[in-house]
Structure 1
Amino acid sequence: MRIFESGRSAFKTLLVSSFLLLGLAGFATQASAQAVVCSGTETGTFNPPLTNTQQNLQITVSASYSPCLVTGVSGITSASVNNQFVRDYACQTLLGGGPGTRVFIWSNGQSSTFSYTATTNSVGGNVVSTLTGNISAGLFQGQSAVVVVTLTSISQADFLTACAGSGITSVSGPTELTILPPL
């Protein structure tokens, strides 16, 4: 009889443990449902200057995002981007958009790699780039993200004029980052 009772007790313990683990797994899934909204400023520099002539350019993208409103992860109040790369570029390439990658460094020391496709439009006389994609590595991996950059340092008309002339050495403006919670 005692063996039967201890077997029953072991079964109860196993059953309760299973429910607890399943419950914790559900809680972990809900806790990982993170959303991020950040605003800030972004600057892009080109060396040599960006013109209508296709050429290899050293491009630096720097962004500072603060404040950041984050659910599901503590310790994040801001983020930054400082990406440098060499690319064969012309003004039409920038306006045409295309694929890219950038790394967000969060104020808690973690990072997120954002793989995106850029589209560029004219809105209110400004050049507006929208980067749409996914976090491919790091914090928030697998979540969809969107970055919108409005180049207010130069109007679209001045951008096109400068591209036809001596070129553009830098552009800047406000930026918004949104990382959507997982579905």
Structure 2
Amino acid sequence: MEAPQVLLVMGVSGSGKSTVGALLASKLGWKFYDADDYHSEENRIKMGKGVPLSDQDRIPWLCSLRDILLRDATLGQPVVLACSALKKMYRDILIRGGSEDSAKADALAGGRLLVVYLCGSFDLIYGRLLQRKGHFMPPELLQSQFSVLEPPTAPENFIQISVDQGLPEIAAAVMEALK
């Protein structure tokens, strides 16, 4: 199995994806993308009104993110992507896309993408969301994220890390897993 070229830092809103992802990218010298930066204006408005996104809202967004990952992987640029990727189907789109071209479909498969699942209790994460200022995702939508969450399972290439520990411990656990 090849060393991961992409780290997908996933979890519900408020789990620390952006913070952990940016720190990992900095430590590794990899490029960092925050999937939230790539939401359409329609998606942002919908979430801002407290309306959860549907699969139809998310799929074009995930396909755009996959294009970015494929571009960078093709160039040999390792990447950290912070993205909720709550359902297995969403992670499959990021890894395999809907491509009929098997060479393209395999570009991120085979262990080249490692999922870093940041998990924590509803109460802990809800408390964090209440502290967060200026984000388009309101705390009221957290339950909808927990409701659709499908944590990674085998045969997905993943590690699970609890967010009830500090940022240095979380980053150290990921760095250890990469060795």
TM > 0.5: no
Q: TM-score, normalised by structure 2?
A: 0.32
Greater strand fraction, Structure 1 or Structure 2: 1
The one of the two structures with greater contact order (alpha-carbon pairs below 8 A, sep at least 6) is 2
Query: Which one has a bigger Cα radius of gyration?
Result: 1
Q: TM-score, normalised by structure 1?
A: 0.31
